[in-house]
Amino acid sequence: MAVRSDSVDWALEDMARYPFLEKAKRYISEEAPSLEELLGDNLWGPVRRRGKARIIEALKEGRVTIKGMDDELESENELFSYPVARMLVSSIEDDFLIRRYSLGESERVVRELSRENDDAKLLDLAAELDIRARKREKYIAVHFTDYLEITEGLRSPEWKMVNQDLREGEIFLDKKRFIRLIKEKVFSSICEGLPTPVSKQILDHLEEDIKEIEEVLEETRTEITDLDLGKVEDEYFSPCIKNLLARQQEGENLSHEARFALTAFMKKVGLSKEEIISYFQESPDFDRELASYQIEHIIGEISGTEYSPPGCALMKTNGICSGADSLCDQEWMTHPLTYYSFKKRKAGEDEEGDREEYKEED
Ligand code: SF4
């Protein structure tokens, strides 16, 4: 069954690709089996397995891959697996899982939309997401207030209002950037819609799948938080940490939150007290005794508690996130330590690649 919306025909396969749309939800409510059947009947086992696979892939890979859909049955199974995935995520009720899953689904939408040749479909989809947009010349023009709202969390200069092609209240974007905008909106709407209320019936039926996802969730969380940071290389520090260091070295009197974030970060990446002090002593009004006392307190030599450096959310709340690059714009960027570890690893891989090339030339 296809759904017609204005001038666009939405086939079942399209709804499976964009299952968060109202038309897809309507299809599910009219055509899907009862909850009891969906969760308990062997006939719907593939749908339940696919629902779980969406989450596990999102956790492990940071994306969800669309499954091949050769016929109506496969398309329906793909579509019905989306509410199953939502039930599973809601049953676990974990913020990290919700963000990771929403990111995986929104990444999938980017890949699907990039292959979409029908601009009318793109615009219809945007309208469903409450984005006012229309085709103008070879661009897609987005109402500037919608643009501002969606790009609020994007900090790299390419998204700043001053760098946009603004004409008569609309921002002109090429298709690639428009899809990036849609991705943001899909991410936030999936995230905000979770968790949904979950009944005991759902919890009982999905018990085994929930356990399996919880295990993968803990593994993923551990991999991300127990970072092996190796040798300290400050060129890979995050923009916020570099900014705080520069301000400190110029002699600015940083707020308590800023000093705390800076010191706790430096300790966590493996610097000793003396090394941290050496960064601070470039400040013109450096007071070694005072600095030592403050550092000792934060790194736990006085209190016995080594504090963890704050994540991006708290850095933003404290007004000390200076995110200015595309890495900071990634949804999975939740901590300055993650930024540092990613940059270091990436640099190592590039270097490895150069060495391989060099070997081949030999
Ligand atoms: S987004 Fe996070 S890592 Fe990037 S500057 Fe802000 S606080 Fe630092």
Q: Is there a contact between 140 and 123 (Cβ–Cβ < 8 Å)?
A: yes
Which structure tokens are listed for 113?
A: 């939309």
Reported as type and span, the H/E element at residue 158 is: none
Give the position, in ligand 1's atom list, of the atom nearest the Cα of 324: 5
CATH number (domain holding residue 61) = 1.20.930
pLDDT tens digits, one per residue of 170-228 = 999 999 999 999 998 998 899 999 999 999 999 999 999 999 999 999 888 766 555 55
343 assigned to some structural domain: yes
**Is 108 in the same domain as 242?**
no
Confidence of residue 68 (pLDDT cuts 50, 70, 90): confident
Identify which has the larger pLDDT, 70 or 229. 70
What is the phi-psi region of residue 72: left when phi exceeds 0, alpha when psi lies from -120 to 50, beta otherwise? alpha
Confidence of residue 99 (pLDDT cuts 50, 70, 90): confident
360 assigned to some structural domain: no
Q: What percent of the chain has pLDDT over 90?
A: 47
Identify which has the larger pLDDT, 140 or 60. 140
Q: Which of 160, 194, 222 delimits the end of a domain?
A: 222
pLDDT tens digits, one per residue of 280-333 = 876 666 777 777 887 887 777 766 666 778 888 888 888 899 877 888 888 778
272 assigned to some structural domain: yes
Ligand 1 site, residue 237, Cβ cutoff 6 A: no
Cα(303) to ligand 1 centroid in Å equals: 28
Segment 100-113 mean pLDDT: 89
**Is 172 in the same domain as 314?**
no
Identify which has the larger pLDDT, 306 or 146. 146
Confidence of residue 79 (pLDDT cuts 50, 70, 90): very high
Cα(360) to ligand 1 centroid in Å equals: 38
Structurally, how many domains does the chain consist of?
2
The pTM is what?
0.67
Ligand 1 site, residue 315, Cβ cutoff 6 A: yes
Domain of 336, in residue numbers: 234-351
Q: Is there a contact between 110 and 216 (Cβ–Cβ < 8 Å)?
A: no
Give the position, in ligand 1's atom list, of the atom nearest the Cα of 334: 2
69 assigned to some structural domain: yes
Residue 305 has a pLDDT of: 65
